[in-house]
Amino acid sequence: MFADFLQFLISGITVGAIYGLVGLGFSVIYNASNVINFAQGEFVMIGGMASVSFLSMGIPMPLAIVLAVVVTTFVGFALEIFAIEPARHNSVVSLIIITIGASIFLRGLAQIIWDRNYHNLPAFSGDDPIKLWGAALQPQSLWVMGGAGIIVLLLWLFFNHSILGKAILATSFNPLAAELVGIDTRRILQISFALSAALGAIAGILVAPIALTYTNVGVMLGLKGFCAAIVGGLGNPMGAIAGGLAVGIAEAFTAGYISSAYKDAVAFVIIILVLLFLPSGLFGRKEIDKV
Amino acid sequence: MKNVIFNKMSRLIVVTAGIIIAFTSMVHSKDAIKIGTFLSVSGPASFLGDPELKTLKMYVEKINAEGGVLGRKLELVHYDVQHVAKKAVTAVKRLIDQDKVDVIVGGSTSGQTMAVIKLVEKAGIPFISLAGAAVITDPVKKWVFKTPHTDILAAKKIFNDMKENGWNKLGLLSGAGGFDKSCRKSVTKVAPGYGIEIVADETHGKGDTDMTPQLTKLKNAPGIQAFMYCGFGAATSIVAKNFKQLGLSLQHYQSHGAGSKSFIKNAAGAAEGARLPAAALLVVDALPDDDPQKSVAGAYRAAYEGKYKDAVSTFGGHAYDGLMIVVEAMKRAGSTDKEKVRIEIENTKNFVGADGIFTMSATDHLGLDEKSFVMVEVSNGTWKKLK
Amino acid sequence: MMPLLKPRTGGLLSLMVILVVLPLFFRNAYHYDVAIQSGLNAIVCVGLNLLIGYTGQISLGHAGFFALGAYASAVLTDRYEFAAVGAMIIGAVAVGCLSYLIARPILKLKGHYLAMATLGLGIIISIILNQEEELTGGPDGMPVSSFSFFGWDISGNLTWYGIVALVLLFTVWLALNLVDSPVGRALRAVHGSELAASTMGVDTQRYKVLIFVFSAVLASIAGSIFAHYSGFVSPAEGEFFRSIEFVTMVVLGGMASIFGAVVGAAILTILPQLLASFHDYEMMVHGAVLMGVMIFMRRGLVPTLVHFIRGLRK
């Protein structure tokens, strides 16, 4: 019985860490611009697909991964310059539509550059499961959990202890005031898109050995990552991870103990309940209406 | 300011108008035989539609290079309908009314096919579906045919294998898609006739990345002797990985949805020992030389893999069979008259295709039986024919 | 101002003329199909635009209401032999009740949190439609019988076109009146600043709930008509992407513009048909068009055009 419980927990944490990693990207962009980037899932996809394709060209794995992150970062940067920058004064909803358009565009592009098949990225430290009190764990899960932990720590340091990070936060709170104290808000937006694309790519690469990668992989992962970011409280990287874990564990235990058919539905019911009782998510800052 | 807006606007209008004119004035050659198709080329079922479209394109080209059919060229008219039934309905209306195609070969999923049957029947146009569900041709509809094996045949094949090994308790896992659900239904329906008991029946959601909770539950089902997964695409490989991760000591079965090299490749070794019913196409090399399918399936595989540098899958095979059956029927009918072609499709006898040897009749619009499936096992990273 | 630029008289009249003249250009069932689909989408979008454009509340779950309406008609007529009109009304009332029940708690949420909650709601509906195979036919969908109205089976493209056109006109008329009524003024106040509006004694919550329910019921009715017209429903109708599509139509056409919603719906229904010839490049072009329009016409098509025409007249 305990072994089963542990197995469900392991599955929940693995999946939750995946959602959390994807959710981080949402948080970073939201922090800088109050925009929800619906193309975040596509960054995840590009990271995974690009590393698979670099690998198949015979480039060694570590280099392939670095190249994939660089490529995705560049895509994020380009997205900001060509699509977000010219629309900077648009309403939030119209910015959302732009990111949705970008997501369709990037998926279409990926189908042309790569293919419509699904691909595996070799696990970083082999496929032999680790046994734990009767439960089993894929070594790659440790990479995902560790990766999520390290990234969230780095982000925390970045936002709280670096000038650039603080500038991003300042831009989010009040762009005009930020500009007045000499922050180049345009530059800040570009950096945050590039950063969040890099985070998405890293998530996509860490996850690919478990979830595989294909041009549509970002659709569902993006959606679940969005859930993670919202449940945790938008704009809070720590919250995104916590939100991801909450969603992932809820899914795994529902599948294990209640009904696997309705596991996704149960996860969403929980999300809605969380929002009703904690309207700004688990760790979000309370929004106050400005007059 | 006004001028800036005006410039922007006029440019936009010119571009839009240009696009519209370009695509409405596209002239189709009048004397070509039009083959209409609608497939899931993008979206979650692109795994099916992509090889199907590639196959159709390649063979239409090839047939045209060899002089066409009845002295006329073939022209392929295609619409991508993703996985959405409504888009299939619109596409078929367009094929029938706008493009005035002579025959339709398409429909990657059963949902799409079922959604358009009414239209096709009303218009009276021969339609060969590339989808699996048995309900498509059972009961028989006058104008509707199909080439893929049904999941009922797949289930029977697997149950035969189980019985030979003395297993009768099966744990089932299926996904949330149409293929998955239809497969699950057939397995549950056929099981009692073979004395097979379904001891666990789990499902997973769309785009799920980890199925270990479901597999853990299956593991605990009392008396379970074998495990089967109903689904296709990335999930087949993920399930195999999770199966290995948990170290389950059951026989691992997959449905014919895993009938693609990608399943083996992407499971990274975890697919070893898995068995599934597949078309002879997957195990061409293992067929005896006197097997009539060997040369046909072998030629198709060589052509596909040569042109697209990608492993052949059974899904492309469905499209090959569909197109060829139509072409043969037109040749026999000596015209593209819809009723004549329909009758000749029905008269298809001993047609050797990638999926098997077809013999259709007025009461059988599929024309395949269990024998067209071979049981294969994954061994050393490739398919091995059992028995 | 010229009366034709006045939405209530001129706009409605022009829409009527366009709807009457349009069939003259249709040559086959496919043309009618695209027009009917556009009309049905437009009905949903007019309602949704009241919510997004006038109250400033976003919903990423309206496809769920559309699908509920469609399935209410499909299941009740097919499995329980209800009359088509009865099934449609039951569907609309049920969706109305459901949306009323959830509206109050859910509309307390703001911005992206509201988006998330409505999104979750839509996804839950679509999962139920997928899973309850006995009732809904599962992911492969189910056939729907034709719409019979006191012994008269509605069939034929022109008839369906006429029905959808009438319902659309009525919806637009209703929406225009709503916007011009005291309710509408209160709504605009809510959009401007909810805090200020509530301080001035406007019961903001009540109006938001009202519009939410109204738009959900419209979606449900459009869904019911769709089910009978198309003769087939599948859970893809309730998917998250459909909800996004509806919102995109509203924003593209122009928020807070009733005719914008109609234009946006028509354009985004026709666009994929035009792009079909791009084959492999279809998705890329589709995405690029969405981005392009939003970047260059940030208020949406219709408001930008109206602004432009007014600018010319000055």
The residues spanned by each domain of chain C are 29-239
Among the partner-chain residues C274, C283, C296, the one whose CB lies closest to the CB of B20 is C274
CB contact B370 to C (< 8 Å) = no
Q: How many domains does chain A have?
A: 1
Question: Residues with Cβ < 8 Å from B119, sequence gap 6 or more?
Answer: B89, B92, B93, B96
Confirm whether A89 is domain-assigned.
yes
Note the ipTM here. Answer: 0.86
Q: Is there a contact between B262 and A263 if contact means CB atoms under 8 Å apart?
A: no
Confirm whether A282 is domain-assigned.
no
Name the residue in chain C with its Cα closest to that of A99.
C291
Q: Is there a contact between A221 and B207 if contact means CB atoms under 8 Å apart?
A: yes
- Residue B52: list chain A partners with CB under 8 A: none
Q: Is there a contact between B213 and A18 if contact means CB atoms under 8 Å apart?
A: no
pLDDT at B14: 54
Give A256 to chain B, closest Cα distance, Å: 5
Mutation site for C-interface testing, chosen from B7, B87, B97 by largest number of C Cβ within 10 Å: B97
CB contact C143 to B (< 8 Å) = yes
Give A186 to chain B, closest Cα distance, Å: 24
pLDDT at A289: 45
CB contact B212 to A (< 8 Å) = yes
Q: What is the mean pLDDT of residues A83-108?
A: 88
Q: What is the mean pLDDT of residues A1-9?
A: 88
pLDDT at C6: 57
Between B48 and B16, where is the model more confident? B48
Q: Is there a contact between C140 and B109 if contact means CB atoms under 8 Å apart?
A: yes
Q: Which two tokens stand for residue C150?
A: 């006191």
Confirm whether B5 is domain-assigned.
no
- Residue A269: list chain C partners with CB under 8 A: 120, 124
**In this structure, are B381 and B320 located in the same domain?**
no
**In this structure, are B189 and B265 located in the same domain?**
yes
DSSP state of B103: E
Name the residue in chain C with its Cα closest to that of B2.
C311
pLDDT at B26: 46
Among the partner-chain residues B245, B265, B269, the one whose CB lies closest to the CB of A136 is B245
CB contact C113 to B (< 8 Å) = no
- Residue C106: list chain A partners with CB under 8 A: 272, 276
Q: Residue A17 — very low, low, confident or very high, per pLDDT cuts 50/70/90?
A: very high
Q: Is there a contact between A117 and B207 if contact means CB atoms under 8 Å apart?
A: no
**In this structure, are B185 and B212 located in the same domain?**
yes
Report percent pLDDT > 70 for chain B. Answer: 92
Among the partner-chain residues A38, A90, A269, the one whose CB lies closest to the CB of C294 is A90
Among the partner-chain residues B209, B212, B310, the one whose CB lies closest to the CB of A115 is B310
Q: What is the pLDDT of residues C91-123, one digit of tens each?
A: 999 999 999 998 888 888 877 788 888 988 999
Confirm whether A284 is domain-assigned.
no
Alpha helices in C231-257 (DSSP H): 240-253
Distance CA(C255)–CA(C249), nearest Å, equals: 10
Name the residue in chain B with its Cα closest to that of A250.
B213
Which segments in chain C show pLDDT lower than 70?
A: 1-9, 190-202, 314
Neighbour tally for B7: CB within 10 Å: 10
Q: What is the pLDDT of residues B147-181, one digit of tens each?
A: 998 888 899 999 999 999 999 999 999 988 888 88
Q: Residue A290 — very low, low, confident or very high, per pLDDT cuts 50/70/90?
A: very low
Q: What is the mean pLDDT of residues B240-254?
A: 91
Give B243 to chain A, closest Cα distance, Å: 11
Give B124 to chain A, closest Cα distance, Å: 34
- Residue C140: list chain B partners with CB under 8 A: 109-111, 114, 133, 178, 181-182
Confirm whether A142 is domain-assigned.
yes
Confirm whether A197 is domain-assigned.
yes
Q: What is the mean pLDDT of residues B42-66?
A: 91
Q: Is there a contact between A265 and C244 if contact means CB atoms under 8 Å apart?
A: no
pLDDT at A291: 39
Q: Residue B19 — very low, low, confident or very high, per pLDDT cuts 50/70/90?
A: low
Q: Residue B57 — very low, low, confident or very high, per pLDDT cuts 50/70/90?
A: very high
Alpha helices in B259-291 (DSSP H): 261-266
Mutation site for C-interface testing, chosen from A30, A90, A96, A115 by largest number of C Cβ within 10 Å: A96
Quick one: three-class SS letters along chain A? CHHHHHHHHHHHHHHHHHHHHHHHHHHHHHHHHCCCCCCHHHHHHHHHHHHHHHHHCCCCHHHHHHHHHHHHHHHHHHHHHHHHHHHCCCCHHHHHHHHHHHHHHHHHHHHHHCCCCCECCCCCCCCCCEEECCEEECHHHHHHHHHHHHHHHHHHHHHHHCHHHHHHHHHHHCHHHHHHCCCCHHHHHHHHHHHHHHHHHHHHHHHHHHHCECCCHHHHHHHHHHHHHHHHCCCCHHHHHHHHHHHHHHHHHHHHHHCCCCHHHHHHHHHHHHHHHCCCCCCCCCCCCCC
**In this structure, are B108 and B189 located in the same domain?**
no
Q: What is the pLDDT of residues C217-268, one digit of tens each?
A: 999 999 999 999 988 999 989 988 899 889 989 988 988 888 999 999 999 9
Any idea what the CATH number is for the domain that residue A41 is in?
A: 1.10.3470
Q: How many domains does chain B have?
A: 2
Confidence check: pLDDT of B379 > 50: yes
Any idea what the CATH number is for the domain that residue B251 is in?
A: 3.40.50.2300
**In this structure, are B245 and B265 located in the same domain?**
yes
Give C248 to chain A, closest Cα distance, Å: 6
CB contact B104 to C (< 8 Å) = no
Q: What is the pLDDT of residues B75-109, one digit of tens each?
A: 999 999 988 888 999 999 999 988 999 999 999 98
**In this structure, are B271 and B361 located in the same domain?**
no
**In this structure, are B217 and B99 located in the same domain?**
no
Which of A107, A57, A115 has the alpha carbon at shortest distance from B311?
A115
- Residue B93: list chain C partners with CB under 8 A: 28-30, 33
Give A290 to chain B, closest Cα distance, Å: 32
- Residue C195: list chain A partners with CB under 8 A: 289, 291
Q: Is there a contact between B209 and A221 if contact means CB atoms under 8 Å apart?
A: yes
Among the partner-chain residues B19, B90, B182, the one whose CB lies closest to the CB of C140 is B182
Range of the domain at B156: 151-285+373-385
Between B23 and B121, where is the model more confident? B121
Confirm whether A10 is domain-assigned.
yes
CB contact B205 to A (< 8 Å) = yes
Q: Positive or negative CA dihedral for A254, A255, A256, A257?
A: positive
Instruction: Round the CA-based radius of gyration of chain A to a whole number and report it.
Output: 19
Confirm whether A283 is domain-assigned.
no
Q: Residue B9 — very low, low, confident or very high, per pLDDT cuts 50/70/90?
A: low
First to last CA, chain A: 56
pLDDT at C63: 95
Confidence check: pLDDT of A174 > 60: yes
Q: How far is CA B258 from CA B240, B281, B313, C8, C230, in A?
A: 11, 13, 9, 59, 33
The set of chains that have 3 or more CB pairs under 8 A with A is B, C
Among the partner-chain residues B85, B94, B205, the one whose CB lies closest to the CB of C30 is B94
For chain C, where are the E strands, in sequence order? 142-143, 148-149, 152-153, 232-233
Q: Is there a contact between B97 and C28 if contact means CB atoms under 8 Å apart?
A: yes
Distance CA(B219)–CA(B211), nearest Å, equals: 12
Range of the domain at A128: 2-277
CB contact B108 to C (< 8 Å) = no
- Residue A276: list chain C partners with CB under 8 A: 105-106, 108-109, 117
Confirm whether A239 is domain-assigned.
yes
- Residue A260: list chain B partners with CB under 8 A: 202-204, 213-214, 217
Q: Are C139 and C235 in contact (CB under 8 A)?
A: yes
CB contact B381 to A (< 8 Å) = no
Q: What is the pLDDT of residues A200-215, one digit of tens each?
A: 999 999 999 998 998 8
pLDDT at C12: 86
Give B291 to chain A, closest Cα distance, Å: 31
- Residue C127: list chain A partners with CB under 8 A: 262, 264-265, 268
Q: Is there a contact between A127 and B50 if contact means CB atoms under 8 Å apart?
A: no
Confidence check: pLDDT of B25 > 80: no
Q: What is the rounded average pLDDT for all residues in chain B?
A: 87
Question: Residues with Cβ < 8 Å from C174, sequence gap 6 or more?
Answer: none
Question: Residues with Cβ < 8 Å from B118, sequence gap 6 or more?
Answer: C143, C231, C232
Q: Residue A69 — very low, low, confident or very high, per pLDDT cuts 50/70/90?
A: very high
Confirm whether B194 is domain-assigned.
yes
Q: Residue B329 — very low, low, confident or very high, per pLDDT cuts 50/70/90?
A: very high
Confirm whether B197 is domain-assigned.
yes
Give C206 to chain B, closest Cα distance, Å: 36
Confidence check: pLDDT of A159 > 90: no
Confirm whether B17 is domain-assigned.
no
Among the partner-chain residues B214, B245, B268, the one whose CB lies closest to the CB of A129 is B245
Instruction: Round the CA-based radius of gyration of chain C to a whole number and report it.
Output: 19
Q: Is there a contact between A127 and B47 if contact means CB atoms under 8 Å apart?
A: no
Q: What is the pLDDT of residues A100-121, one digit of tens each?
A: 999 999 999 998 898 888 899 9
Q: Residue A127 — very low, low, confident or very high, per pLDDT cuts 50/70/90?
A: confident
Q: Which two tokens stand for residue A58?
A: 């015979």
Classify strands B74-80 and B275-279 as parallel, antiparallel or unpaired.
unpaired
| Bond preceding residue B139 cis, omega within 30 of 0 | yes
Q: What is the mean pLDDT of residues B252-274?
A: 89
